[in-house]
Amino acid sequence: MAILPIYTYGDEVLNKVAKPLKKVDEKIQTLIDDMFETMEQANGIGLAAPQVGVSIRLLVVDVSCVKEYKHVPPMVIINPQILETRDEVLMEEGCLSIPGVREEVWRPDVIKLKYRDRHFQEHVEEFDGLLSRVIQHELDHLNGELFVEKLDSKTRRSLKETLEAIKHGEVEAKYVLAEKSHVA
Ligand SMILES: [Zn+2]
C-alpha cells in the first residue's frame, strides 16, 4: 500500500465532474487500499478519488474513530446516487483538500443512497447523522464541488485570503500534499 499526495483547493482535478466506473479491476482495488491508507494517515473520515488526483466516481469512508460509530465498518462507495433526502441540519465540516478550514454547512440529515461496493454489488441504503454527512461531502467532490462553495457570501469573504494562499501552495498539513502545478 502507498500513501498518496492529497490535491488541494485550486487544483483543477477538484473542479471536474468525475467519471463513473464500469467495473472494479485490480488497479482500482489497489487505489481503494491506498485511499484508505492515505485517509487514515491524514486522520480523515472520508476521501474521494479526485482528492488523490483520480477523476472517477469512487469514495471511501471510515467513521469508526468517532465513539458512537465505533462499530461501523469502513465503506467503499462507487457511482453513488442520492435517491431521496430529508430534514436539513447544520453541521461543522472540514476537508483534507482545504487544510485548516472548518465551517458549519446546511445539508439534509437523511439520504437514501444507491451505490456499488468494491465488489461492484449494488446497494440501496439509508444513512443519517455523521455517516450521511461524510458521504454527501465526498459525493460533492465527485461533482467538482467543495464545501466552501456552500457557505454564505459573508463567510466566504472571511475565508478569501486563506483560500487564495492554499491556491498558491502556501499551506502546510500533517500529511502529504500534491505539489501545485500552476503556482503563479
Ligand atoms: Zn473534502
**pLDDT at position 182:** 57
For residue 142, how far is its CA from the centre of ligand 1 (angstroms)? 10
Which residues carry out catalysis? Answer: 138
Express each pLDDT in 57-112 by its tens digit.
999 999 999 999 999 999 999 999 999 999 999 999 999 999 999 999 999 999 99
**pLDDT at position 184:** 46
Tally the C-alpha atoms within 13 A of residue 106's C-alpha that lie toward its C-beta. 6
DSSP labels for 65-105?
TSGGGTTPPPEEEEEEEEEEEEEEEEEEEE-TTSTT-EEEE
For residue 1, how far is its CA from the centre of ligand 1 (angstroms)? 22
Q: CB-based contacts of 172: which residues, under 8 Å, 6+ apart?
A: 99
What residues sit around ligand 1, an ion, with C-beta below 5 angstroms? 95
Q: CB-based contacts of 85: which residues, under 8 Å, 6+ apart?
A: 108, 110, 111, 112
CATH of domain 12-167: 3.90.45.10
Express each pLDDT in 124-152 by its tens digit.
999 999 999 999 999 999 999 999 999 99
153-158 own/partner pairs: CB under 8 Å, 24+ apart: 155/103
Q: CB-based contacts of 160: which residues, under 8 Å, 6+ apart?
A: none
Q: Where are the domains of the chain?
A: 12-167
